[in-house]
């Protein structure tokens, strides 16, 4: 089997550095030089792989989304397999919120951050954000349908509608957490969404 070319490693390293830097500093707060310094490659290397910063960020968004979806899929099929749909969702949001807190509230959801910062400015990035959001909502729809079938979630609202509101609550919770620099407000919002607003009628 042939070994991956060094250029492929550099490209992947640039994207991973982009995920980290942009998640922390945002699109406008992250310069190409920051990314290059992180990977320790000359400026010319960047344009060997990406036509522009905009094209680069589009790929960063796609990789970020796919990587996290793969991690969630691994969790659902692995450690979370024995959990109910409701427990799976709770485990996911608690793990994710704690991860943000461990970064001193500097790193949030790249999808949400880019949606508010760059979506209106960049057609290319906006399309990648739409694709990523559709995939994420589809993941939540599957979990919610499973929970509805098990009587854990309300059935008078469609799984698609619940997933859309759940996603919006999640992104809003991250903004609230970063604004307050506290974990509790976000956890409270997600708990309310999962255990009250999505609860089946008694």
Q: Which helix (H) or strand (E) holds 181?
A: none
The CA distance from 167 to 125, in Å, is 19
Nearest 5 degrees, angle CA 69-CA 120-CA 43? Answer: 75
Contact 22, 60 (CB under 8 A): yes
pTM: 0.87
123-149 and 53-77 helices cross at what angle (nearest 10)? Answer: 10
The CA distance from 160 to 92, in Å, is 19
How many other CB atoms are there within 10 angstroms of residue 202's CB atom? 3
pLDDT of residue 2: 44
Q: What separation in angstroms does the CA of 56 have from each of 35, 141, 202?
A: 11, 30, 50
pLDDT of residue 4: 43
pLDDT of residue 25: 87
pLDDT of residue 5: 56
- Which domains, and CATH codes, for the chain? 54-197 (1.10.357.10)
pLDDT of residue 142: 97
Token reading at 173 = 């919770």
pLDDT mean for each 10 residues of the chain (202 residues): 62 92 89 90 84 92 94 94 97 92 83 85 90 94 97 97 95 87 92 96 78
Quickly tell me which residue has 């427990």 as its tokens. 87
Token reading at 179 = 């604004």
pLDDT of residue 6: 54
């Amino acid at each position: 089997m042939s070994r991956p070319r060094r250029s492929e490693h550099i490209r992947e390293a640039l994207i991973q550095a982009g995920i980290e830097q942009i998640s922390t500093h945002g699109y406008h707060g992250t310069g190409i030089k920051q990314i290059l310094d992180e990977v320790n490659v000359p400026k010319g290397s960047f344009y060997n792989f990406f036509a522009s910063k905009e094209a680069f960020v589009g790929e960063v968004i796609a990789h970020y989304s796919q990587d996290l979806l793969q991690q969630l899929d691994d969790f659902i099929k692995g450690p979370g397999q024995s959990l109910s749909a409701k427990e799976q969702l709770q485990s996911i949001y608690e793990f994710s919120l704690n991860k943000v807190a461990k970064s001193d509230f500097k790193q949030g959801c790249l999808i949400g951050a880019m949606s508010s910062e760059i979506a209106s400015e960049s057609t290319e990035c906006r399309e990648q954000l739409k694709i990523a959001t559709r995939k994420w909502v589809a993941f939540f729809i599957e979990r919610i349908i499973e929970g509805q079938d098990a009587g854990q979630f309300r059935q008078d609202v469609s799984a698609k509608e619940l997933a859309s509101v759940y996603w919006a609550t999640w992104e809003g919770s991250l903004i609230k957490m970063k604004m307050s620099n506290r974990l509790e407000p976000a956890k409270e919002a997600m708990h309310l969404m999962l255990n009250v607003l999505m609860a089946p009628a008694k």
